[in-house]
């Protein structure tokens, strides 16, 4: 993670730490050494507005997620290859991504 003075190295999470972090990230799925989330937005503009925020935060933190997008659908995968798994930076970025998505996602008809 970056700050204005120096880069702080990512800390690999233990399985217990990861379980605790995932309890706070219920929309994220754990598969092997990756946490991922699928999102759907109402339109193309909302999708790219969200992606711009994610891209800027990722760049500032020196962390670059895998992002797959198709019109209004987005898949984000987080892992830290250099550390060999999921780190505190992955968990922090997942939480920030959740904040960016809040209020933007497409609602199911039964949620209206």
Pick the CATH number of 15-105 from 3.40.980.10, 3.30.230.10, 2.40.37.10, 3.30.1360.20: 3.30.1360.20
Burial-class residue 23 by CB neighbours within 10 Å (0-12, 13-18, 19+). Answer: exposed
pLDDT for 7 equals 65
pLDDT for 63 equals 87
Strand ranges, E, within the chain: 29-31, 34-40, 66-70, 73-78
pLDDT for 97 equals 97
pLDDT for 107 equals 66
pLDDT for 5 equals 43
DSSP class of 15: H
**Tokens 């399985």 belong to which residue?**
15
One pLDDT digit (tens) per residue for the chain, 112 residues: 444 445 678 999 999 999 999 999 999 999 999 999 999 999 999 999 999 999 999 988 888 899 999 999 999 999 999 899 999 999 999 999 999 999 887 764 434 3
Q: 71: phi > 0 → left, psi -120 to 50 → alpha, else beta; which?
A: left
């Amino acid at each position: 993670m970056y700050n204005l003075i120096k880069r702080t190295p990512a800390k690999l999470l233990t399985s217990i730490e990861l379980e605790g972090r995932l309890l706070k990230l219920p929309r994220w799925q754990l598969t092997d050494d990756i946490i991922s989330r699928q999102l759907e937005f109402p339109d193309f503009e909302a999708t790219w507005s969200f992606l711009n925020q994610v891209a800027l935060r990722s760049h500032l933190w020196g962390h670059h997620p895998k992002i797959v997008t198709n019109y209004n659908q987005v898949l984000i995968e987080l892992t830290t290859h250099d550390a060999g798994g999921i780190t505190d930076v992955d968990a922090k970025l997942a939480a920030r991504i959740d904040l960016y998505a809040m209020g933007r996602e497409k609602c199911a008809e039964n949620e209206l």
